[in-house]
Amino acid sequence: MPEKIKNYINGRWVGAASGKTFESRNPADAREVLGVVADSAAADVDAAVRAAKAAYPGWAATPAPKRGEILYRAAEALIRHKADLGAWVTREMGKVLPEALGDVQEAIDMTYYMAGEGRRLCGETVPSELPDKDAKSVRVPVGVFGLITPWNFPVAIPAWKITPALIAGNTVVLKPAEETPICAARLVKILCEAGLPAGVLNLVCGFGETAGEPLVCHPNVDAVSFTGSNAVGGRLSVLAAERHKHFAMEAGGKNPIIIMDDADLSLAVTGALWGAFGTAGQRCTAASRLIVHTAVYDRFVAQITERAGRLRLGNGLHSKTDVGPIVSEAQYHKVLDYIALGAREGARQILGGPHKKGACAHGYFIAPTLFLDVRPTMRIAREEIFGPVVCIFKARSLREAIDLANDSPFGLSAAIYTQNTHHAARAERDLNTGLVYINAATIGAEIQLPFGGTRRTGLGPREAGGRGGALDLYTQWKVIYRDFSGRLQKAQIGETP
């Protein structure tokens, strides 16, 4: 029987006010309906925001260490539910089970990390220029947060956003991707059962135009964090700016791997396969451009073609599967349209395309796809495809490779394979991306450092932990001056030259 997925508003599971629903299907076999989901609209968003606003004063007044204790309990509960939640990630989103379990582990790691921030919400205490006066800054919450999350990490990315928002004292309304509402509902259930008061965390399922935009535009939502496509993020950023809301987004990538002539070629091929075809290429950090030194180009192309051709497609719950399905019919056709576009643009496809054989006949499968003879101006070389499609380029030098890597509207992640420390140092310095990997693929960020990119990839503070990470979004600074001199003192006035 399909799961019945309702909204979670003010501590209660409720259907959409309209009574409308939509289906969540298994992308490995679209005949299987996994869930019947509340199809929410502005009225449901309003109810959730009102609940979050009413809960805010009490939650903000709860000592941060006590908020952290709840998150510690939530992390422990996620560990207990890891296997079940991971299986749901595979069933609903499609990624292979080891990756799905990694998705849940990332949520566990982030929840533990942010729980610890309950005792580390650090500000500054600095000397005053005047006697008998002290000066300090403290972090305070922002208010009600609207969180809009994507389908490719249906547990990890909601946890990236929910846990720092909560530890900082904000209340939350989560609008997950319409492709993965079951995963979001199960995550919310686990978090709330750890002891969150009613109204602190709310869930509204639905589509972007009918639920996401009303959330961004709601007058009682103080701030918005969005992860998704660049086009949607750009539109939402304008809506938020017009309403003077705090807004942050993490959008796309067109991530390059540079393979130099002195690279360990076997390691580089292995890393490129993982970076390009892990999660069927459905990561914002996926390696979609491989820039190979001319001296090793032919060998690299031969090796990656042979190894990519041996990757096994299928249901991610099966232990022998290497590459799962594309998440939905719409995304499947989008990726196929890009493959067709590449051929029209003059690139040479040497591998891949749609895969409808055997057990994959009723799912949305695309085999690992490689293009050669790609020009940097082609759309397949510049636009994010979000599927298992890779463009391979030649470069005659490190400088040419770095310039080609930087020739993109996006700047999320980049990697270089080299055994030359000078090459590694120059790449680390000159690659214009938020993340740089040396002798590793473009995927695999860890939660204790900020996550995000440059240029059109992101806007506002970064995700995840560390200085300059998520807490810069989910808190605002308050500066406090205390004068205990007992007389009027005037800063900067009356100074002798």
Catalytic residues, by residue number, are 250, 284
**Contact criterion met (CB below 8 Å) for 155 and 85:** yes
Specify the DSSP class assigned to residue 280.
G
Which residues partner with 353 through β-bridges? 367
| H-state helical runs in 431-496 | 471-474
Sign for the pseudo-dihedral over CA of 294, 299, 305, 310: negative
Residue 167 makes CB contacts below 8 A (sequence gap 6+) with 64, 67, 68, 71, 114, 115, 117, 118, 121, 474
| H-state helical runs in 194-250 | 213-217, 230-242
10 Å CB burial of residue 304 (0-12, 13-18, 19+) is buried
Q: Nearest to residue 454, comparing CAs of 408, 394, 393, 400?
A: 408
Q: Which two tokens stand for residue 365?
A: 């499968």
Specify the DSSP class assigned to residue 323.
B
Task: Determine the Cα–Cα distance for residues 27 and 328; give it in Å rounded to an integer.
Answer: 6
Task: Determine the Cα–Cα distance for residues 229 and 249; give it in Å rounded to an integer.
Answer: 9
Task: Determine the Cα–Cα distance for residues 162 and 145; give it in Å rounded to an integer.
Answer: 9
Tell me how far CA of residue 67 lies from CA of 74, 142, 379, 433, 445, in angstroms: 11, 16, 47, 34, 26
Residue 82 makes CB contacts below 8 A (sequence gap 6+) with 101, 104, 105, 108
Q: Nearest to residue 98, comparing CAs of 279, 285, 286, 296?
A: 279
Interaxial angle between packed helices 64-80 and 181-193, expressed in degrees from 0 to 180 and rounded to the nearest 10:
120
**Contact criterion met (CB below 8 Å) for 151 and 364:** no
| H-state helical runs in 94-155 | 97-116
Q: Which two tokens stand for residue 250?
A: 């993490």
| Angle 440-445-450 from CA coordinates, rounded to 5° | 130
